[in-house]
Amino acid sequence: MITLNGKKFAENDNEITESLFETGGTCVGYAKRYSRRINLFDLQHTKVGVINRECVLGCASIVNGRWWYSYADIDLVGKYESYMQERNELESLATRYDSSGAFFN
């Protein structure tokens, strides 16, 4: 499970079900990890954002049939109180670093 700005994103259906009965709150969407990014989805499995290998959170939307990524705030995540809070949360998701930047596992 991934937590961004206090909002939970489940990595599988079991985590969604478990979050219904926990006191920490219900998941607002799904997260799918890849080797160099994490895709964020809403509960209908529509992509809403991405965290790239440099630990940058981007909003995803479809423009003219193609994916467009921007620095806009993602509605499901909300606006962070501070830039450092955002950086610390995103960098904590990276599990391995090398000379070309952060990579996810």
Residue 105 pLDDT greater than 70, yes or no: no
Question: Has residue 31 been placed in a domain?
Answer: yes
pLDDT value at residue 16: 87
Question: Has residue 102 been placed in a domain?
Answer: no
Domain that holds residue 69: 2-93
In sequence order, what DSSP letters do the residues of the chain get, joined into one string? -EEETTEEEESSHHHHHHHHHSTT----EEEEE-SS-EEEEETTS-EEEEE-TT--EEEEEEETTEEEEESPPPTTT---S-HHHHHHHHHHH--EEETTEEE--
Residue 96 pLDDT greater than 70, yes or no: no
Question: Has residue 57 been placed in a domain?
Answer: yes
Average pLDDT of the chain to the nearest whole number: 88
pLDDT per residue as tens digits for the range 33-61 = 988 899 999 999 999 999 998 889 999 99
Domains held by the chain: number: 1
CA distance 51 to 71: 11
